[in-house]
Amino acid sequence: MTEPLQVQRIEEATALIEPVFRNTPQYVDPALARQVGTDLSVKLETFNPIRSFKGRGADYFMRGLSAGQRVLCASAGNFGQAIAYAGRARGIPVTVFCARNANPTKVAAMRALGAEIVQTGDDFDAAKDAARAYSANDEGWLFVEDGREPRICEGAGTIAIELAALHPDLVLVPVGNGALVCGIGCWMKARSPATQVVGVCAAGAPAMAESWRRGTPVSSPEARTIADGVAVRVPVPEAVAWMRAYVDDVVLVDEDQIRAGLRAAQDMLGLLLEPAGALAIAAALTHRFPAERPAAVITGSNY
């Protein structure tokens, strides 16, 4: 049975995570609220050195490791940047496996943060399989899987504590491997149970949505979407179990809806987001939720 996430560790993380990742802007933009039809708050996780929310969980996880520990992970880009950033600060060597067709800008950013990069496989999940196999053959590496490590989810869950100041009755959260929505959902269910937590998946990468609905991991034959940051084909079983416990609903947005979210972010918020970062806005524009004070988490701008 999957170990529950711990609300107390989420609250502990708020004082431990590097301040540059905490207390990000959150507000109601009048123009976007008019288009959505309600006072939608946005939570901007793009104003930090790696331009995504991933720094929260990576920092909380990596501070528990010893200097000299070697860390191996797989990433489409943002998670790898977060692990590399935290590793550099602590003298922890980091190697990131990513797909051969990974976003070149994200690959360059990971290298700039000191990570060794191995590009292999046709997609993210194939690269993750290669990373897992590599670590199994060399005991000197610690393989870190996004969506499986509780402390990564719990670090990401600190976003929920900050959102609580807005008293949202619904929070829209993009879903890739699930760490973010699980961390936010865990804290909300314990401390603000009236707040609905809704995950948003790309229709071209529906594995996590289908897994949440069925209550068991369901892989997709492919993940084809412009939102490369959430292009998950093979769900992490632990993340599926946590989502079942902490998430109220999961919705899908298609490619045109994601593009509409990107345009709204640019035109109304002045933000150039990566496609995955705009999923929550896309959902707010597309679906009508019974909420008076919804919030959307804007997860990244590594386009």
pLDDT at 202 exceeding the cut of 90: yes
pLDDT band at 177 (very low <50, low <70, confident <90, very high): very high
Provide the 3-class DSSP secondary structure of residue 177. Answer: coil
Residues 144 and 116: beta-carbon distance below 8 Å: no
pLDDT at 56: 98
Alpha carbon of residue 20 to chain centroid: 17
d(CA 158, CA 193): 16
pLDDT at 213 exceeding the cut of 80: yes
CATH no., domain 7-52+151-298: 3.40.50.1100
- The mean per-residue pLDDT over the stretch 151-171 comes to 98
pLDDT in tens, 117-137: 999 999 999 999 999 999 988
Residue ranges of the chain that CATH labels 3.40.50.1100:
7-52+151-298, 55-144
pLDDT at 87: 96
pLDDT at 287 exceeding the cut of 70: yes
Q: Which of 279, 23, 9 is nearest to 163 (CA)?
A: 23
pLDDT at 106 exceeding the cut of 90: yes
Q: Any long-range contacts for 13-20 (C-beta under 8 Å, 24+ apart)?
A: 13/56, 13/60, 13/151, 13/154, 13/155, 13/157, 13/158, 14/158, 14/161, 16/59, 16/60, 16/63, 17/55, 17/56, 17/59, 17/60, 17/155, 17/158, 18/55, 18/59, 18/89, 20/48, 20/49, 20/55
For 4-26, the DSSP string reads PP-HHHHHHHHHHS-GGGSS--E
Q: Say yes or no: domain 55-144 is CATH 3.40.50.300.
A: no
pLDDT at 51 exceeding the cut of 70: yes
pLDDT at 248 exceeding the cut of 90: yes
- The mean per-residue pLDDT over the stretch 265-282 comes to 97
Give kind and range of the element (H or E) at residue 74: strand 70-74
pTM score of the predicted model: 0.97
pLDDT at 1: 61
CB atoms within 10 A of CB 64: 9
d(CA 202, CA 176): 9
